[in-house]
Amino acid sequence: MSQQFPSLPNQANLGAVFSKFPNGVSPLLELHDVVLRAESPFTIGERELIAAHVSGLNSCQYCHGAHTHIAKDFGIDPALIESMQKDLDSSQVSSKLKPILAYVSKLTLSPSNMTSRDAEAVYEAGWEERALYDAILVCSLFNFMNRLVEGTGCTPNHHTQGKASTKPLESYLAWGKDQGLANST
């Protein structure tokens, strides 16, 4: 992607963008924690898998790579995510999770075509309404983030700023504060 902001360094990452334009960073990272880390019918790994899947559908290499890596830290095999991108139906994703992923796929690629049948498939797989709502939140957040990343010209493979962590990312807001990014509203 081309550089969108001449004042940012070449191959800028999201941290550089957030440092340059801090307005709204803290609430955005708080939202990440609510959607990806708060109590949910989905594990953290499953929510990160949904984030990586949506990002892959949007061809957002930056977010797809970052969230595939984070999902791995929470027990998700990256090969599973890659197989889902190629063909969800033939992938080794559990039969219970496939309707959720089909739902977010359709919501990402053709949102105006959503029907009650899409939700019924989720319920028939044994999920409750809360699970569908949480999947919609993850999907919505990453459709937003993919556009933010692509629109600002963030470069793939530069997912972190500062020292790399050896432990799973437990909180996006804490990560932002550690990076000096989450101080503004």
Q: State pLDDT tens for residues 28-65.
A: 999 999 999 999 999 999 999 999 999 999 999 999 99
- Is residue 122, in this structure, part of any structural domain at all? yes
Place of tokens 């890659």: 82
At residue 162, the pLDDT reads 37
- Is residue 163, in this structure, part of any structural domain at all? yes
Domain of 130?
39-178
- 169 near 33, Cβ under 8 Å? no
The DSSP-derived string for 99-143 is HHHHHHHHHHH-GGG--HHHHHHHHHTT--HHHHHHHHHHHHHHH
- Is residue 46, in this structure, part of any structural domain at all? yes
The span from the CA of 97 to the CA of 110, in Å, is 20
How many domains is the chain partitioned into structurally? 1
- Is residue 113, in this structure, part of any structural domain at all? yes
- Is residue 140, in this structure, part of any structural domain at all? yes
Q: Could you read off the pLDDT of 6-38 as tens digits, one per residue? A: 999 888 889 999 999 999 999 999 999 999 999
- Is residue 11, in this structure, part of any structural domain at all? no
The backbone torsions φ and ψ at residue 44, rounded to the nearest 5 degrees and listed phi first, read: -60, -45
Q: Tell me, what CATH number does 140's domain have?
A: 1.20.1290.10
- Is residue 139, in this structure, part of any structural domain at all? yes
Burial class from Cβ neighbours inside 10 Å (0-12, 13-18, 19+) for residue 174 reads middle
Asked if residue 140 has pLDDT above 90, the reply is: yes
- Is residue 136, in this structure, part of any structural domain at all? yes
